A and B are shown apart, each in its own frame.
Chain A
């Protein structure tokens, strides 16, 4: 999966939680979930659950803690897809 394809799949997931819609439109690898998209920190677990469902993977607690940006999410998703 290319970076563009991954971001295209992530965007609708984070869209549900992003409070900064302008930042959502400019989403890229460097976008931070909390600082840029203004996602409520409590909702990060919901983002993870939605990502698990979309990609049919399981994200462990350690990876979950690191999933704070689009780039980190992409790395984790790719690693988990490779493990499958």
Chain B
């Protein structure tokens, strides 16, 4: 029989809060983590505002040894390990320091790139004919699976230790892949999450594509405007989110705190056919992803209390709302509540899915809907489909049972996960 899968630990390194407690306060209060970045201004970026986590030396030194930090220059691994270790500890688990690997626990921790600043350092050395001076950690900091390798070593994991990569759905995908593994009985516990590097070498490509806003460089906190009529592109971000997934049986046996249950989900692709392309979604696939997620979770559309959208603050937001409305066959006042974390964090790219899933689970556990900021001028194409009341602009305290969370990414890929309050 399939295992039921629950969430027993959370960790986050977000632009508006490091650690679950700070992050919870930030999302409840609509606190923005978006700031002006002098480095991007100096480099002549069009968009000079970003959502970047602010870590203290104490937070870093708690998770990394002095030796590990020698010549260390991989922000993605830094964020991922800190979020991952928090989730593990929040689940009441200790790192395994014995001689026997923990065969039943693994990690799937995604990223878009790894150690891009370290990679740049290395390129300069190699081009300067100094390949021999690279040192011993270039590979582990720049290999895509660097983040899962660091986590696996720190926790002594003995099950699958891997990194997935699928643009903006990476984090949601890592959770669904981990969920499947536990459901099938291949693992008892999985640390699922994703991370994204910070800095101009990650964000530059998006700036060049003109998909980021250049209109809010002097007012960062109001720059990220999902669902607003004056949305003019996303604000790039970075960070990491993590959660411990565990079989219900294991969680109950050790008396663990249970945040929520994962009922199921779906991952698909639009094949870059029809309206889909490398960078645009095929709406048929988006809607199918949502309906298949409901089918897989054995719920119907009316069971969904709230949606945590992808909603990046580009011209595609209205299309996303239309796709949700079509998939759920719900509109107007009958539409579920919907919010987007990106108004306060920016678009954390490969970390977006995991950070936003963490926010969704906190909402279920505590019974609230965090406010969307910067959308008092809702886009008329959106209010034509759904009622203004379904888009919280102030904190709403409400007992929620089911949240649908989706992300959509480059490559025409989609992921939707269904979280349910555990009772």
Chain A interface residues toward B at CB < 8 A: 16-17, 42-46, 49
Contact = CB atoms under 8 A, between A and B. Distances in A.
Interface in B50-69: 66-67
B136 A43 contact: yes
B135 A16 contact: no
A16 B70 contact: yes
A44 B71 CA distance: 15
Contacts of B298: none
B254 interface: no
In which size bucket is the chain B interface?
under 10
Interface string B66-78: 1100110000000
B66 A16 contact: yes
Contacts of B133: 49
11 contacts: A16-B66, A16-B67, A16-B70, A42-B137, A43-B67, A43-B136, A44-B136, A45-B135, A45-B136, A46-B71, A49-B135
Q: 3 nearest interchain CB pairs?
A: A42-B136, A45-B136, A46-B136
Nearest to B71: A46
Nearest to B140: A42
Q: Which secondary structure dominates where chain A touches chain B?
A: helix
Contacts of B66: 16
Contacts of B67: 16-17, 43
B132 to A, nearest CB: 8
B412 to A, nearest CB: 40
Contacts, number: 17
Contacts of B71: 46
A49 B71 CA distance: 12
Given A17-B67, A43-B67, A46-B71, 5 more contacts: A16-B66, A44-B136, A45-B135, A46-B136, A49-B135
B197 to A, nearest CB: 23
Nearest to A41: B136
Nearest to B66: A16
A32 to B, nearest CB: 19
A17 B67 CA distance: 7
Nearest to A18: B67
Contacts of A42: 136-137
A45 B134 CA distance: 9
A46 B137 CA distance: 9
A45 B136 CA distance: 6
Interface string B133-155: 10111000000000000000000
A16 B68 CA distance: 10
A10 to B, nearest CB: 17
Interface string B165-209: 000000000000000000000000000000000000000000000
Nearest to A42: B136
Contacts of A46: 70-71, 135-136
Contacts of B70: 16, 46
Contacts of A43: 67, 136
A45 B140 CA distance: 15
Contacts of B137: 42
A32 B71 CA distance: 24
Which of B133, B136, B137 lies at the interface centre, i.e. has the most chain A CB atoms within 10 A of its CB? Answer: B136
Contacts of A17: 67
A49 B135 CA distance: 7
A46 B67 CA distance: 11
A28 B136 CA distance: 25
B72 to A, nearest CB: 12
A75 to B, nearest CB: 21
A45 B71 CA distance: 13
Nearest to A17: B67
Which of A16, A44, A45 lies at the interface centre, i.e. has the most chain B CB atoms within 10 A of its CB? Answer: A45
Interface string B26-67: 000000000000000000000000000000000000000011
Nearest to A48: B132
A55 to B, nearest CB: 15
B300 to A, nearest CB: 54
Nearest to A64: B132
Nearest to B70: A16
A44 B136 CA distance: 8
